[in-house]
DNA sequence: CTGCCGATGCCCT
DNA sequence: GGGCATCGGCAGC
């Protein structure tokens, strides 16, 4: 059973807003997945975004209609899943809590530890079986299933991970204190101390 | 626990 | 040819 469907037009909004609201939503692919605990936003004006320099073959899905998947290969080894928002913008799904069909995830990952099954965009795609076969697919029908949910804790914003440009933009959203995120907010910033 | 490093494909200039 | 929206292993606190 799944929760309430996402409202129509949910993805046709600025990516940062969608990214925050996606935390807590349940994501499954072929029935495998769970509640999202970590996301990142990217948009057309963002130097760190694949869309920054305009449409190319790789990022074609990012410039298509909202509500589709954008999947790309990272570092030649891993797949990363994005949910497309307004043209040229998308939300990277970085981590979720493994809840549905853990056996499938463990088999694909070759691991057992629930904390490591889906903690990171590449790991998550491996666990859920996402490849470029999903690039461009609509999100409101199989193999995808997305439903509203409530985060298991407060949602906090922090800098994105692994970037070389626009490193300060606070467009990573995660459940504070979740054991399933790829990386917690560093103590120095978690306390609300001065930023740089 | 933290941090460095290499692997490895491919897009884009 | 340069540069990655990453990950796992291993070294060293």
Q: Could you tell me the distance in Å between the CA of residue A152 and the C1' of nucleotide B12?
A: 41
Round to whole Å and give the CA distance between A191 and A62: 35
- Cα–Cα distance between A128 and A117 in angstroms, integer? 9
C-alpha to C-alpha distance for A34 and A83, rounded to whole angstroms = 16
Q: Can you identify the CATH homologous superfamily of domain A15-190?
A: Methylpurine-DNA glycosylase (MPG) (3.10.300.10)
Task: For nucleic chain C, give residues with Cβ below 7 angstroms from it.
Answer: A 40, 42, 48-51, 62, 70, 74-78, 80, 82, 90, 92, 109, 116, 120-124, 160-165, 182
For the stretch A31-59, pLDDT in tens is 999 999 999 999 999 999 999 999 999 99
Examine the pLDDT at A189 and tell me if it is beyond 90: no
Q: Which nucleotides of C are covered by protein (CB under 7 A)?
A: 3-8
- The pLDDT of residue A187 is 86
């Amino acid at each position: 059973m799944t929760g309430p469907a996402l409202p129509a037009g949910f993805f046709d909004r600025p990516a940062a807003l969608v990214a925050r609201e996606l935390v807590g939503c349940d994501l499954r692919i072929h029935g495998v997945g769970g509640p999202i605990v970590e996301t990142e936003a990217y948009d057309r004006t963002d130097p760190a975004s694949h869309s920054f320099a305009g449409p190319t073959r790789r990022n074609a899905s990012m410039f298509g209609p909202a509500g589709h998947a954008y999947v790309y290969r990272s570092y030649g080894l891993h797949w990363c899943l994005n949910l497309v928002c307004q043209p040229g913008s998308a939300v990277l799904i970085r981590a979720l809590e493994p809840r549905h069909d853990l056996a499938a995830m463990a088999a694909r990952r070759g691991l057992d530890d629930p904390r490591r099954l889906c903690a990171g965009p590449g790991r998550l795609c491996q666990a859920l079986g996402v490849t470029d076969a999903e690039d461009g697919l609509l999100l409101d029908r199989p193999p995808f299933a997305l439903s509203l949910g409530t985060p298991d804790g407060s949602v906090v914003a922090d800098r994105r991970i692994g970037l070389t440009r626009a490193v300060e933009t606070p467009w990573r959203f995660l459940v504070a204190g979740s054991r399933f995120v790829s990386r917690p907010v560093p103590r120095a910033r978690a306390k609300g101390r001065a930023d740089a």
